[in-house]
Structure formats: structure tokens, C-alpha cells
Amino acid sequence: MSQSTARTFITPHHIIYGPDALAEASTLVATLGTRALIVTDAMMAKLGNLARVTNMLEDAGISYHVYDEVNSEPVDTMVARGAELFQEHGCDFMIALGGGSPIDTMKAIAMVVSSGRDIDSFLGENFSGSVCPMVAIPTTAGTGSEATQFTIITNTQADVKMLIAGAPLIPEVAIVDPTFTLTAPASVTSATGLDALCHAIESYTSRKAQPLSQTFSLSAAKRIFESLATCVREPNNVEARTQMSIAATEAGIAFNNASVTIIHGMSRPIGALFHVPHGLSNAMLMEACFNFALDGAYDRFAEVARYCGVSTASDDKTAAEDLMAAIHALLEELNVPTLEQFGVERTAFYAAIEKMANDAQASGSPANTIKSVTVEDMQALYREVYA
């Protein structure tokens, strides 16, 4: 990795983090507009999280309309509905409250509103237009979408998850308040935390990694190894939740600038075709994909292992294998289900392998893996994961 070439490194304009971040951010949010569209899901209202946000807005004298129909991973029809509501209610900025799905939906709504185009028309394109101000309030410690220029939306006609990128899609404000994550159930805490671990390690071992991104990658990975299992065992442990919230945002910043690799490339088609939640499909793929990539970047996997304290080996191959052992132990502790246990039927999965491998390759993410990855390699990995 050359350090002599100029690189660009981008982050949200404002990251307000830690307990009470929501209250701390209220003055800043009040400068963004006069009427907000809040993009969220129905569960956020039931858990009381939505009321915390609307109370803050009311105290600041900001009006709002709630769009709470993002109850699954986002699809193009949800985006179209949100764009209609944004315009119908005269909104001038947006707040996303929830996991990666509401945040990604918010970004896509902003694209549709500013461009006047259907979201599906952006397939294969980068976005470069201007958008309204956006505020992201994650309620899980995982996707890092509050810090990224990416949105993933399912095109329901083509049955494919579209990865759309563009610097304008980075939220203006990220409010990373770990108290919102206290309401996440163990299964969500586990899956989203493992998603963040994938972001951290994939970005560190990516062809596009750079010194600044790798600093964030390493810090995120270490926090996750130290705190994720504690969050699952002790859901009300605010310190562990704080460390995981920081880690998820760090990992988001890292992959925002270095991209992800083979795991995310292969994960998206599983989500699109079999509706496995994104973090969970990443977790299911993690061991097989990293074991495949290992011999292409022993040194980088070894550096992660040593920084995270899971290896003291001086030999890179040994240290890299120690990292894989630590990942295996974490996945075991968190009881990550197999595809079969999740309910994916074997015959249907095998019938989709060719499409999934081609879709994964088309996404571009596998090409960021330092080790060369072919469509045939990914077909074999899909078979291995279901074996």
C-alpha cells in the first residue's frame, strides 16, 4: 500500500456520540430545517425511541411527519412512498431512527426527492447530486450507515440488492447515542455487531485500504472483540454498549473510505433472494470467506490479530490463523445459525448459486479482496457455507 499517493478521506460533518448525545445534538439539528421527515420503523414507537426524538424536536420548535413503514430491509417501493410523503408534507430535512434499514432508506429518499428519478434507475451508477440535510440516529451498533456514502436498496423487479454510492449520501449529522441500543434484542445485537466486525476486518484487508482508514479499522475490531459478547450477555451494560456504538461508527468510517470485500459481495445476494438479515448473512459467510482470503494477505490479518490481542505470534501465518480461531470462538459464543437452521431450503439455495455468484461479482466488492476472486471461487464458497 503506497503512502506517497494523495488520498481522500471523508466522514460526516458532525458526529455527536456517547450517552446523552441526542440532547447534545438538539441545537445543531434545529439549524438544519423547519420540518423533518422521520424515517423509522413501527417498533421504534413501541420501544419509546421515537418519542425521545419527537420530544427533542418539539422542544426545539421543529415540526415533523413520521414515516414508520421501514419494517424490513429497504426496497424500492418503501423509498418511493417516503419520497411522496417528504414532498406531500413540505419537509426540508430528514432524520432516520433505527438500524441500517431506515438510514439507508433515508439516503435513497433524499436521492429520489432531489433528482426526480426512480431509485431503481440508479442501478450501477454513483450519485453526485445535492440532497437535503440528513440526520442519522442508529439504534443498533452495526451497519455504520450513519457514517457512510452507501445505501443498499432491493430492486424488487430485478430481485437484486443495489449498492449505490456517492459522497452526498453521508449524513450531515450522526447522533451515536448508545442508550438507543439498549432496546436491541440479543439476536440483533449479535448480528449487527458481527456486521461491524466484517466492516472492520474487510476494510483493513481491502485493496483500497489506506493509513487513515486502517487506524479506524483496527480500533473498531479491538473494541468489538472486547465488548460484543458482553453486550449480548449483559444487555444493559452501558459501557459495553458505548464501546460497540463507537466501534460501529469507526468501522463505518473505515469501510466508507476503503470499501468492503468478498463477504459483503456474497452476502447481499443471500439477503435479496432469501431475506436473511444483512448482518446475519455476513456472519454466516465470515469464516469461509476469510479463510479463503487469508493466504492472500497473511500480513494484514496478522496485524489485526496482534492489535486485538488475540495473537502474540511473530509469524504472520500463525497470527492470521489465531485471528480465525478468535472469530470462530466469537461466532460459537453468539450462536450464529447456519443457513439451514435459519430456514433457507437447500435445493432453492443451490439453484440460486450461479445467480448469486454473478450478482456478487457485479457488485464490485469481491474485487477489493487482495486475493483474486473468481465467480467459480464464490460458487464453491456458497456450496461450502451450506454444506
Q: Is the pLDDT of residue 26 over 90?
A: yes
Model pLDDT, residue 3 = 57
Domain containing 265 equals 185-386
Q: Is the pLDDT of residue 291 over 60?
A: yes
What average pLDDT does the segment 354-378 reach?
A: 96
For the chain, what is the domain count? Answer: 2
Domain boundary among 118, 152, 180: 180
Please check whether residues 211 and 254 belong to one and the same domain: yes
Residue 322 domain-assigned (yes or no): yes
Residue 286 domain-assigned (yes or no): yes
Q: Which residues of 152-185 are buried (b: 16+ CB within 10 A; e: fewer)?
A: bbbbeeeebbbbbbbeebbbbbbbbbbbbbbbbe
The residue whose grid cell reads 450461479 is 354
C-alpha cell at 295: 493466504
Tell which residue, 193, 171, 164, 166, has the closest CA to residue 181.
193
Model pLDDT, residue 170 = 98
Give the tens place of pLDDT for each residue, 180-228: 999 999 999 999 999 999 999 999 999 999 999 999 999 999 999 999 9
C-alpha cell at 25: 445534538
- Percentage with pLDDT > 90 across the chain: 95
Model pLDDT, residue 128 = 94
Model pLDDT, residue 338 = 96
Please check whether residues 211 and 170 belong to one and the same domain: no
Give the tens place of pLDDT for each residue, 34-93: 999 999 999 999 999 999 999 999 999 999 999 999 988 899 999 999 999 999 999 999
Q: Is the pLDDT of residue 1 over 80?
A: no
If you average pLDDT over every residue of the chain, what do you get?
A: 96
Domain boundary among 125, 154, 180: 180
Please check whether residues 119 and 261 belong to one and the same domain: no
Residue 260 domain-assigned (yes or no): yes
Residue 382 domain-assigned (yes or no): yes
Task: CATH number of the domain at 343, please.
Answer: 1.20.1090.10
Model pLDDT, residue 158 = 87
Domain boundary among 162, 180, 198: 180
* 8 Å CB contact between 355 and 246: no
Q: Indicate the pLDDT class of residue 5, thresholds 50, 70 and 90.
A: confident
